[in-house]
Amino acid sequence: MGGETGTSSSEKLRRGDREEEDVKVIEWEEFDHELTRLWSLSSALKLATEKKLTLQPKLESLIQVSAESLRRSNELEEMRQRLEARKLLVEKTTVACKVTEQDVKVKEDSLSAEVRSLLVGGTTLSIAKSKLQESNCQLEGESGYTHLKIVTNKLRKRQQYMVSQVSFIYPLKIEAGPSQDQELESLPGGSRLVGTKPVSQGSVRILGLPFSMAPFTKMSFFTDKKEVQKSATALGYVAHAVSLLAPYLGVPIRYPLRLGGSKTYIRDYAPYMEPSPSDMSTISTLSQSSKFVEFPLFLDGQDTTRAAYAVFLLNKNIEQLLNFVGENSLGPRQVLANLKELIRIIQSPDYIIHS
């Protein structure tokens, strides 16, 4: 307690000393002047206070206006940024619209072409439908399918008659005894053809002449010249018969014949060969000019390969005619047997029934 009292008394003393220092001593002669100055200062202070009070609302209003202006300026800046973003978006959208417009134009042109194509196709289809209806009406009429059937039967009968004439000119008969091997043993390129054995025993003869493939596969000093001549003559008869049968049936044979009796040739328009790069232009020229190679249906000297290939091509012609009437070949060794089978099928009653 005593310490606190001492401290407060010391503070009072110091405060009193300061008040004494702040006290200004004025002489009486200057009192009026000082009083006037104080009065003037008081009036100025009062006026300043009034002005302050007057300006304070304005200042506060101005501050509010500035704050509002700043706020609006910020909002305008945000709006400007949004506007710029939307402007960029509009530009991108415009570019995309132009690209889309171009794509739409291209697709429209393509669609127009397709529509025109569909219209042309529809017109063609309509014409084809009309023709089909007309054909159906014609088939259903008196000159339709029934008439076609009658004409086909007449044609088949006429073919039978013509084939019977060929059979009369070149009769094919089977003689009892073991059949001769007519397999084409070798062909150009070293390939071999294996045929089926004949069903019946015995050899087929044409105009009494047999055909043996033996001289055409291996020629030797001991080969019978008469047998070679008979085989060549038989092949000439077969070639002539085939050249007559093919037009009667209306079939263009694949390998044309140049008839000459026992010196007959057969033509191959696509001979087998191993082309070299330098020969490609030559082969192209041959195919464009439709050139061919002729092979003899007889032995020409000691070369048996060409003659064997010629017999193979002749048998392929007979096989083509067999396929035309719906039958298969008896095999590559059966030249005379295939021809006999062809004539037998055409002369059978089933040939007209199945027309």
Closest CA to 269 of 294, 239, 241, 302: 294
* CB neighbour burial string for 104-130, b if at least 16 within 10 angstroms, e if fewer: eeeeeeeeeeeeeeeeeeeeeeeeeee
Q: What is the pLDDT of residue 318?
A: 92
What is the pLDDT at residue 64? 87
Beta strands in 38-136 (DSSP E): none
Q: Is the pLDDT of residue 256 over 50?
A: yes
Q: Report pLDDT digits (tens) over 224-247.
A: 677 778 888 888 999 999 999 999
Top-confidence residue, 59 or 94: 94
Decide: helix, strand or coil at residue 197. Answer: coil
The DSSP bridge partners found for residue 172 are: 206
Pull the structure tokens for residue 171.
């009769």
Angle subtended at Cα 144 by Cα 140 and Cα 146, rounded to the nearest 5 degrees: 100
Q: What is the pLDDT of residue 353?
A: 78
CA distances from 350 to 100, 199, 325, 355 (A): 71, 22, 11, 8
What pTM was computed for the model?
0.52
What is the distance between the alpha carbons of residues 291 and 268, in angstroms, rounded to a whole number?
9
